[in-house]
Every structure is written in structure tokens, then in C-alpha cells.
Amino acid sequence: MELDEQGRKLLSLLVSRLDSATPGRPDTYIGYKECHELLDLPQMREKWGESLKPQGLNSLAEWTVANNLPAITGLIINRLSNEPGPGYFSLFGKQKNPYEWWENEIRKSRSHDWSDYIEECVELNPSDIEVPNNRSDMVVSRIIRDSALSQRVKRLNNYECQICGLSIQVSKKRRYVEAHHIMPLGSPHNGPDVIENMICVCPNHHAMLDYGAIAIDVRKLRKSHGHSISNVFVEHHNENIYGPNMANEEGEG
């Protein structure tokens, strides 16, 4: 049984939360509503738990059972009861001492290597975030929806940075690169989530683009069939992200 796209996104989110989850401490787990918010999912049912089931929860839970993997979906709880839904225990056939088994499954989930099943889900996007006027420095780490478009950009470019051609080999089967929105999605830029506004880059060049440390020269980018980049977005980066940053640096001192 293969894991579908929604289940994979949910798994990626849960894996990113394992380091901060303490087995036996549900207050360190994640709620149904939080999953919706972090994955940008619509509320399809009156109850958040019921809404999450057709949006990755059921497929992920069934996939873990079919593949004899740790029951990582126990990391998702109802914030009122501090427990997963009853379907979690029944799916795994647990009736006696389910809480001890539940705690052990979270412990096993923390030590399991999930890297072959997930995509990256954490990115740093400083240029996509508006900094308050009373703060001079702010670093924000957040969960980003790993859209089908970002995956397409990576595949079209053979998981290689379009600036330097490099990627990070994270396992025998996986190479790590990131999809960058040239004109950032958030305020104040409000760029569109379209493939013409995206570029495949290594983490180093992603950070340089986010902080406006480098300009984009379309003529020097590595090209791929099926992926064209709009000059409109490139010009926006060069004029509004790179340009002001360089002007500020030159004016200091």
C-alpha cells in the first residue's frame, strides 16, 4: 500500500513535531485544528477530527497499519480530551491498556527513520514576513505547505539548484532542494502561487534569495523543459528585495 499525497503531507508535519513531543505528555502533541491551520486545509466537517479524516488522517493511519510502522497518528489529539479519537485505538485493535501502548507508539515514532517517506516541510522565508517596526531583527521558522507545484518544480529541475546545480544527498534515495517563490507569497509582496514564480534552489541560495543577498540573472539560470520563469517576478525580486537590501548596506557607516 502506497501513501497518498495528503497522507504524506500530514506525515511530514507529524515528523517535524516529533522532537518537541514527549511520550506520555499529550500537551506536547498537536491538535486536529492545528493540523488544518498548518497544512492550510479547509474545515470539511463540523468537528475538526472528522474533517481531518478524509484529508490525510485515514490514509496515513491505514498506511502505518498495512506497513507495520509505528502508530504516529497518535500524535494528533482532541485538545479538549487530550486524547486521539477512539478510531485510533480501534484501528490498531487496542482495547486493554491502550494508554501505555499509545505512549510506546509515540516513543517508537520518535526513534523511527521516516526519511524515505516524507518531503521537506520546514522552510525559512524571511522576505515573506513583515517585520514589526519596533524590531530590528526577527528570524521566523514555520511550516510551509509543500504544494504539488513545488514538487513539480523540483522534479522538472532534477532536484538540482538552478543557480549552482547542487543539492543535498539526505539518503540513498532522496536529494534535498527547496522551491523558492521569487515574488514572496505573503505581505507586503503578495506574489502568486504559480510555477512561473518559482525557482528550484539549494538551501544556501534559498537563504541568499530570501535575505536579498543576491540578484537573479535569468540568463545564467539552469534551464529545464516545462519550467519557464517570468521576468515580471525576477524584476520584482531584483528591484524590491535585492535592490533595497544592497542600497541599505552601501549607505551604512
Confidence at residue 67, expressed as pLDDT on a 0 to 100 scale: 94
Closest C-alpha among 86, 15, 77, 18 to residue 48:
77
- The percentage of residues in the chain with a pLDDT greater than 90, rounded to a whole number, is 57
The pLDDT of 173-187, averaged and rounded, is 89
pLDDT in tens, 17-50: 888 899 999 999 999 999 998 888 999 999 999 9
Per-residue confidence (pLDDT) for residue 247, from 0 to 100:
66
Q: Name the band, by pLDDT with cuts 50, 70 and 90, for residue 197.
A: very high
Q: Which residue has the higher pLDDT, 95 or 197?
A: 197
What average pLDDT does range 2-26 have in this prediction? 89
Q: How many residues does the chain have?
A: 253
Name which residue leads in pLDDT, 184 or 138: 184
- Nearest residue to 17 (alpha-carbon basis) of 73, 82, 67, 92: 73
Query: Global pTM?
Result: 0.52
- Closest-CA residue to 159 (of 178, 184, 139, 182): 178
- Give 45-77 pLDDT, tens digit per residue: 999 999 999 999 999 999 999 999 999 999 999
Q: Where are the alpha helices (DSSP H) in 18-69?
A: 32-39, 48-52, 57-66
- Cell representation of residue 79: 485538545
Widest Cα–Cα separation across the chain? 70
If one compares 201 and 146, the residue with the highest pLDDT of the two is 201
Residue 148 has pLDDT above 90, yes or no: no
Domain chopping of the chain, boundaries: 5-111, 122-251
Task: Report how far residue 34's alpha carbon sits from residue 185's, in angstroms, rounded to the nearest whole number.
Answer: 21
Nearest C-alpha neighbor of 240 from the set 217, 203, 215, 206 = 215
